[in-house]
Amino acid sequence: MQSKLSDIALIEQTLAGDQSAYADLVKRHQRFVFTLAMRFCKNREDAEEVSQDCFIKAYRSLASFQGQSKFSTWLYSIVYTTSMTFLRKKRVDTDSIDDENTYIQLENQSSGLNNNMAEKRSRSYYLNQAIGQLLPDDAAIITLFYMGEQSLEEIGQTLGIEANTVKVKLFRARQRLKEKLERSLKEEVKELI
């Protein structure tokens, strides 16, 4: 079965003309590509569009993949550049997250989802909510490191920066994430009391 094959084997089969091999690659990576695109776009429809664009770009450029890094690192660099290009074209307003109106908008967006109360109280809900409030670069580094389980070097390749710079950015992103979590959990405690 093809899904047990390595990414490299699936790439070779795709380049040999087997379209189902590329479908297996997409299935294998689509969830994380979407998650990463969502971290940048903050909007499901935009993230879906960016994800589709990424897989199309990856397919067209598959022959240029040299295997010097993992396929996932190469693919996530496409997600990063595609997301940044999309955001530049869209010219998203970048208000401070500390701005009360922005916080209300974020609350309204998340409250529009049909999540049950148990999920809202879960750690992952608050973690994802806090990550969603980070700047796109911070969210990307946190997502790549923890969810993508990429090394500092791989993240550096993805973002086009040095591993030491990634280490510093990751440290700072963790600090900002901690602040966001403390703020949102403090509000949750107030609601419970």
Neighbours of 121 (CB within 10 A): 12
* pLDDT above 60: residue 1: no
Q: Residue 182: is it exposed, middle or buried by C-beta count within 10 angstroms (0-12/13-18/19+)?
A: exposed
Position 47: which residue type?
A: A
What confidence tens digit (pLDDT) does each residue in 55-108 have? Answer: 999 999 998 988 888 898 899 889 988 988 888 887 644 444 444 444 454 454
The tokens for 31 are 């969830």
* Domains of the chain listed by start with CATH number: 1-92 (1.10.1740.10), 95-193 (1.10.10.10)
SS3 call for 94: coil
DSSP 17: T
Q: Do residues 129 and 107 touch, judged by C-beta distance below 8 A? A: no
Residue type at position 35: T
- For 108-142, the pLDDT digits (tens) are 444 444 444 455 556 677 777 788 888 888 888 88
Positive or negative: CA dihedral 113, 117, 123, 126: positive
Classify each residue of 5-21 as buried b or exposed e, where b means 16 or more C-beta atoms within 10 Å of its C-beta.
bebeebbebbeeeeeeb
CB contact at 8 A, 130 and 184 = yes
How far, in Å, CA of 61 to CA of 79, rounded? 13
